[in-house]
Amino acid sequence: MSFDVLAPHYRWMEVVLAGEKLQRCRTTFLDRIPIAGNVLILGEGNGRFLVECRRKMPKARIVCVDASARMLGLAQRRLGDNGGPTEFVRADALAWALPKVNFDLIVTHFFLDCFRPEQLERLIAKIAGAAAPGATWLLADFQAARTGLARVRSKVILWMMYRFFRVVTRLPARELTSPDAFLERHGFKLAERRMAEWGLIHSDWWQHSLSAAT
Q: Which of 79, 83, 71 is nearest to 109 (CA)?
A: 71
pLDDT for position 8:
79
User: Going by C-beta distance under 8 Å and a sequence separation of 6 or more, which residues neighbour residue 172?
Assistant: 1, 114, 115, 116, 119
User: What pLDDT does residue 93 have?
Assistant: 96
d(CA 14, CA 161): 13
CA 159 and chain centroid, separation = 20
Q: What is the pLDDT of residue 7?
A: 79
Q: What is the pLDDT of residue 31?
A: 96
pLDDT score recorded for residue 213: 43
Q: Convert the pLDDT of each residue in 169-179 to its tens digit.
A: 989 999 999 99
Please name each of the domains of the chain with its CATH number: 7-208 (3.40.50.150)
pLDDT of residue 2: 67
Residues of the chain with pLDDT under 50: 212-214
- The model's pLDDT over 32-64, given as tens digits with 9 standing for 90+, comes to 999 999 999 999 999 999 999 999 999 999 999
**Residue 66 is inside which H or E element, if any?**
strand 61-66
**Which residues have C-beta within 8 Å of that of residue 20, sequence separation ≥ 6?**
none
**pTM for this one?**
0.92
pLDDT at 14: 84
